[in-house]
Amino acid sequence: MLDPGSNSSQDSRVTSAIVVGGGIVCALLLGTSIGEGGLLSFALFGAVAAITIVLTLQDRIWILIPIFWYVPGMAGFLPLPFSVRELAVLTASSVFVMFLALRFIRAEARMELLDWIVFLNIGYLVTVFIRNPVGLSAIGSAMVGGRPYFNSLIGFVAFLVLSRVTLKPGLAKILPLFSCAAQVGISLLGALAHYLPATAPLIARIYSGVDVSEYARQVTGSEDSDINRVTDLLAGSQAGILTLVSYFPPLSLLSPFYQIRFLCFLAVCTGFGLAGFRDGIAWMAFVFVMSAYLRGGLKKAFLVVFIAALAVFALEGAHNAGVTLPKTAQRALSFLPGNWDADAKEAAEGSSNWRFYMWEVVLSTNTYIHNKLLGDGFGFSSEELQIMEQEQNGGAGFIGAAEQESFLIQGAYHSGPLSAVRYVGAVGLLFYLILLVVAAIYAWKLIRRCQGTDYFPIALFVGIPAIYEPLQYTLIFGGFDSGFPTTLFVCGMLKLISKGCHMHTPQPRSPAAESQSLAKVQVATS
């Protein structure tokens, strides 16, 4: 399935990816000239690189969006206030509009229920902004921190572009690999900064979205945590397991006879263990079981559940027998019965209690959510910003809990529904849940339709997380400010795959059409 075949159009896409990758490497090499005053030469090179990428990709410029969407940090060597994700969307959309104006491409989109629900959510968010303007002193706003509005706009633009372009079979087969490579690369950068803290300043100059807490501990002389999680490995591990099950049957990943995929699977499991997230383990289990069901039905799904349970019991037995697992892995598995490390269990339970306390404060008071029906919008007041700044210097704040208060003010409650109530109210939460459910149903039907075609891997890669998101967002973990833009992107990808599959997959003909064709053949041969 990974064999690209003889599709000639794919060669140009691979060439395009090489050109893009080469441009990024060259930018990294020349980025050092910024600190030496070489801004002019860097600007000239950037212009040449951008023109080269545009001329190479042309109408395929949109592939920058799915490749770089999950790269939300900023490129430190670029003197621009945009993240890599935002640059990709802005570049792709600008070129897309230019090509439309020049009639170089045609953009077609069929309105479906998913589109109408997207527009409903965007329209309601506009009303939230009108009621709670951020950073607009001209209309008397004293609110700051409205970046999520811009992020939502970026997600909406990505949706508009992706739902109007065409994904051809050759690119559909390999697109998950490119998206996975970007996420794994960022995770490896984060792991490097964690295990070799001295590299953190250099990495931060290249990319800002990695955890540099280990370097900060060394500089400040703080004590190391007993549960030293490598949090940046989570995203790469999720992308890795999703890519593997998109191309291969889940049970084949457990077989040493398939050495490469087996080693990749072990690397992914190691990443999940070192990241130490309980919801990461739950996500991995869902992806494994769901992909088995979509490929082989209930029989394969139950078989995967049985083998996974045996593997967990064997792992737990080995741990109890003296093969000590890393504390990060024990933290992630601590929700299962077993003789886990006390510090690991305490860290996991403390995290849960920390969330429960925030939820209690939010639900029982009006201090942090003033309008639970319609929402308070993104951002916070300048007075609340001062409280957060004072807390960083040891101030008391509202509740005297410096670490939690900043999260409470910002709306980072580690609860999807509560974060939506904070920003867009119960009404906005209802609209967003409808969007998640409609997207999940759309993804389910799309995967079934793409089965047996070149679009099946990308349909699984995008569709399985879309199916899982309603459960994840409502019961496990979520944030409306970060989740809403990504949901818009995912909806755009679903539309992109659906359109490509419809256009480039032979459609079954009706019995009447078959009869007519047979009659014509009989007449022609008689």
pLDDT digits (tens, 9 = 90+) for 490-518: 999 999 999 999 887 665 544 454 455 44
Q: How would residue 403 be classed by pLDDT, with cut points 50, 70 and 90?
A: low
CA separation for the pair 166, 163 (Å, rounded):
8
What is the structure's pLDDT at 6? 38
pLDDT tens profile 146-167: 788 999 999 999 999 999 999 9
Query: Which of 145-154, 264-273, 421-430, 458-467 comes out lowest in average pLDDT?
Result: 145-154
User: What's the average model confidence in pLDDT over 459-488?
Assistant: 94
Q: How many domains does the chain have?
A: 1
Has residue 515 been placed in a domain?
Answer: no
Q: What are the DSSP E strand ranges found in 58-169?
A: 143-144
Has residue 61 been placed in a domain?
Answer: no
Classify residue 248 as left (phi > 0), alpha (psi -120 to 50) or beta: beta
Q: How would residue 222 be classed by pLDDT, with cut points 50, 70 and 90?
A: low
- Taking the model in full, what pTM does it have? 0.83
User: What's the average model confidence in pLDDT over 262-290?
Assistant: 90
- Taking every pair of C-alpha atoms in the chain, what is the biggest distance, in angstroms? 95
Pairwise pLDDT comparison (213 vs 398), residue with the higher score: 213
User: What's the average model confidence in pLDDT over 292-310?
Assistant: 88
In the predicted structure, residue 372 carries a pLDDT above the cut 60: yes
What is the structure's pLDDT at 76? 75
In the chain, % of residues over pLDDT 90? 41
Has residue 414 been placed in a domain?
Answer: yes
Query: Which of 31-35, 213-217, 282-286 comes out lowest in average pLDDT?
Result: 31-35
Q: What are the DSSP E strand ranges found in 115-255?
A: 143-144
Q: Please, are residues 63 and 13 in contact by the beta-carbon 8 Å criterion?
A: yes
In the predicted structure, residue 359 carries a pLDDT above the cut 70: yes
What is the structure's pLDDT at 226? 58
- How far does the chain reach from its first CA to its final CA, in angstroms? 43
Pairwise pLDDT comparison (343 vs 177), residue with the higher score: 177
Has residue 327 been placed in a domain?
Answer: no
> What is the span of the domain harbouring residue 398?
111-145+369-455+471-504
Has residue 512 been placed in a domain?
Answer: no
What is the structure's pLDDT at 145? 66
Instruction: Of 188-202, 215-229, 364-378, 403-417, give the range with the top mean pLDDT.
Output: 188-202
Of 496, 438, 493, nearest in space to 469 by CA:
438
What is the structure's pLDDT at 70? 93
User: What's the average model confidence in pLDDT over 36-62?
Assistant: 65
What is the structure's pLDDT at 396? 47
Has residue 433 been placed in a domain?
Answer: yes
- Token couple for 295: 């490929």
Has residue 283 been placed in a domain?
Answer: no
Mean pLDDT, the chain, integer: 80
CA separation for the pair 460, 508 (Å, rounded):
22
Has residue 359 been placed in a domain?
Answer: no
